[in-house]
Amino acid sequence: MIAHAKNFFYKTLREDPKDAEAVSHKLLIRSSMIKQIASGIYAFLPLGHRVLKKIETIVREEMDGIGGQEMTMSIMMPAEMWKKTGRWDIYGDDMLKLKDRKEQDFCLGPTHEEQVTTLAGQVISSYKQLPLLVYQIQTKFRDEPRPRFGLIRLREFVMKDGYSFHDNEESLHETYMEVLKAYQRILGRMDLSFSVVAADPGQIGGNLSHEFIVPAKVGESTVFKCDKCGYVATSEVATSVAPALDTLEKPDQAKLHTPNSSSIDDVSQVLSLPKSRIVKAVMVIGDSKPYMILVRGDRNVDESKMNRRFSEWRMMTDEEITNMGLVPGFVGPKAHIEGLTILKDKSLDNVDWGVVGANEKDYHIVGVSLGDIPYDEIVDVGAVVEGDACPNCGGPLSSFTGLEVGHIFRLGTRYSEPLEAFYHDANGERKPFIMGCYGIGVTRLVSAIIEQHHDDNGIVWPWVVAPFHVVLIPIGTVQSSLDELSDSLVKAGLDVFVDDRDERPGVKFVDADLVGFPVRIVVNAKNTDQVEIKFRKTGEVVRVSRNEVVKTILDEAKNL
């Protein structure tokens, strides 16, 4: 494939766009890969389009490699199937709903479990046809409240979503692991460093999931890991052992005056005690019932963990707290509060004594043995913090931020049951499919790759996803040798971009670096027998005779 700059649909920018913050966003705009159409919605110009297609090809090859069957589902779909699974309401405003001319309800698919499950129910009728793995690479729409960072958080984006169907858990597990390995190969081929981490299935459902996280500054996911034993988990599911407190003699239990000290910080200061000695009491309404959640004072309740514990929850208002006979800001545990359930977070496990609210304005009680505090259940809803001990080996946990580029789930029968997607088993009984689902954010990968592969001058595309492998820059009149050279490169299967613009060499060099072609070839009229080859990644420059060019590049390609 060959393209010529003179009539190529692109225009590089000298200055950073003012609306861009992330490096990948700035470079995508400046190199003219994408143009914004609306918030979270972009057009892919030819350069960006070519990158996207190359990423898709890698994904497709690896999915086909484990027996995945590619298909294309519809983007727009009727409300009915979403109402059956309950997600017509659960998904909320993130799902773009619309009506057709007959006033029928439709939505633009934010994901495709409903559709693929419906289809499977219609097409698959026997256990003999299982297991089955299908996938598509297709545009999704989610009306995100806050799109950001160019292609990182979009409203309209391309995703590879795959779904598997099984008649038993072992089969699901097998496919799940095969997809996991395929994902590792996909990201590895794109030269991304990444972590596979235990994660929160969120509203997709299921009991276990893994995220594929590419470490990046602009990452929205926080991951905790243990260097000692290899434990990794997102902040949403990470557990830890809170480090032990400094030994401190327990004072006699006493009610102390703590005027205007309703926050942990205030109490800690007034009593000259570490925040970890204070028992935080968080009052919530969970699934319509009141709960008091006790957490160690130096940490917070994690919302994702709460979302898994309760299907619906919110903080109590001050009025509701007062109505329970408690005092907002000075809430503490006490026995026998009608209808109240007390949950004790495990972060309090190794606290021997502490401070609790006195349930009286401006008073706290010190010297309370944790053993004396009443509770109904021990729970894990506390947010992990860096420095906590690894739940497996006790080693210290550290954290990093990254981009979630893939997520795989075991769904079980979450969708097949409500959609009545059944097969017949060996005994002739109708059973719902056991399902898995597997996503990769294709558009997000474009950004992830740039976040990991760039320098001060621009993008440094890995060979396999570069929009073009080679940029050819002529200096002076070299038409015949240029044609000959580009011919041989194209015949060797390379994608060649000829910068034949009527520009000075400096302009072309700067653009070549910005756009990020892995290889730059300069042909100078002063000496057409030899050409200069420069590798973007290493900056290495070699001069070779024209007939050695293809070989030189192909030899080096595996390192690019």
Of 20 and 75, the one with the shorter C-beta distance to RNA is 20
Going from the C-alpha of 58 to that of each of 62, 438, 448, the distances in angstroms are 6, 16, 15
Of 73 and 270, the one with the shorter C-beta distance to RNA is 73
Q: Does 315 bind RNA (CB under 7 A)?
A: no
Burial class (CB in 10 A: 0-12, 13-18, 19+), 186: buried
| Residue span binding RNA (CB under 7 A) among the ranges 8-16, 246-254, 258-266, 488-496 | 8-16
> Which of 88, 127, 149, 291 is in the footprint of RNA by CB under 7 A?
149
Cα–Cα dist 146/253, whole Å: 49
> Which of 62, 114, 211, 298 is in the footprint of RNA by CB under 7 A?
211
Strands 132-141 and 69-70: parallel
Strands 132-141 and 279-286: unpaired
283 three-state secondary structure = strand
State the binding string over 441-480 for RNA (x if CB under 7 A, else -). ----------------x-----------------xx----
Minimum separation from the CB atom of position 533 to RNA (A):
10
In degrees, rounded to 5, the angle at the alpha carbon of residue 448 between the alpha carbons of residues 442 and 453 is 130
Cα–Cα dist 519/486, whole Å: 13
Cα–Cα dist 494/534, whole Å: 16
Q: Does 138 bind RNA (CB under 7 A)?
A: no
Q: Does 291 bind RNA (CB under 7 A)?
A: no
Minimum separation from the CB atom of position 432 to RNA (A):
20
Q: Say which DSSP state 94 is in.
A: G
Peptide bond into 131 cis (omega under 30): yes
Which of 286, 278, 279, 280 minimizes the C-alpha distance to 340?
286
Of 35 and 551, the one with the shorter C-beta distance to RNA is 35
Q: Does 203 bind RNA (CB under 7 A)?
A: yes
Going from the C-alpha of 213 to that of each of 111, 186, 195, 264, the distances in angstroms are 20, 13, 5, 34
Of 39 and 193, the one with the shorter C-beta distance to RNA is 39
Minimum separation from the CB atom of position 236 to RNA (A):
9
Name the β-bridge partners of 136: 161
Longest dimension (CA), the chain: 95
Q: Does 540 bind RNA (CB under 7 A)?
A: no
Minimum separation from the CB atom of position 442 to RNA (A):
11
Q: Does 171 bind RNA (CB under 7 A)?
A: no
Minimum separation from the CB atom of position 97 to RNA (A):
16
> Which of 7, 14, 103, 491 is in the footprint of RNA by CB under 7 A?
14
Of 109 and 333, the one with the shorter C-beta distance to RNA is 109
Which of 442, 416, 437 minimizes the C-alpha distance to 140?
442
Residues in the chain: 560
Q: Does 308 bind RNA (CB under 7 A)?
A: no
Quick one: residue 247, left, alpha or beta (phi over 0 = left, psi -120 to 50 = alpha)?
Answer: beta
> Which of 15, 246, 249, 319 is in the footprint of RNA by CB under 7 A?
15
> Which of 75, 180, 204, 324 is in the footprint of RNA by CB under 7 A?
204
Q: Does 529 bind RNA (CB under 7 A)?
A: no
Quick one: residue 16, left, alpha or beta (phi over 0 = left, psi -120 to 50 = alpha)?
Answer: beta
State the binding string over 71-90 for RNA (x if CB under 7 A, else -). --------------------
Cα–Cα dist 558/538, whole Å: 13
# residues contacting RNA (CB under 7 A): 61
Minimum separation from the CB atom of position 204 to RNA (A):
5
What are the backbone angles phi and psi of residue 39, rounded to the nearest 5°?
-60, 120
Q: Does 394 bind RNA (CB under 7 A)?
A: no
Q: Say which DSSP state 16 is in.
A: -
Q: Does 307 bind RNA (CB under 7 A)?
A: yes
Amino acid type, 7 = N
> Which of 532, 548, 554, 557 is in the footprint of RNA by CB under 7 A?
532
| Residue span binding RNA (CB under 7 A) among the ranges 139-147, 348-356, 483-491, 548-556 | 139-147
Contact positions vs RNA (CB under 7 A):
11-22, 25, 30, 36, 38-40, 94, 110-112, 140, 142, 144-149, 153, 159, 161, 202-204, 211, 220, 303, 307, 404, 407, 439, 457, 475-476, 504-507, 509-514, 522, 524, 532, 534, 541
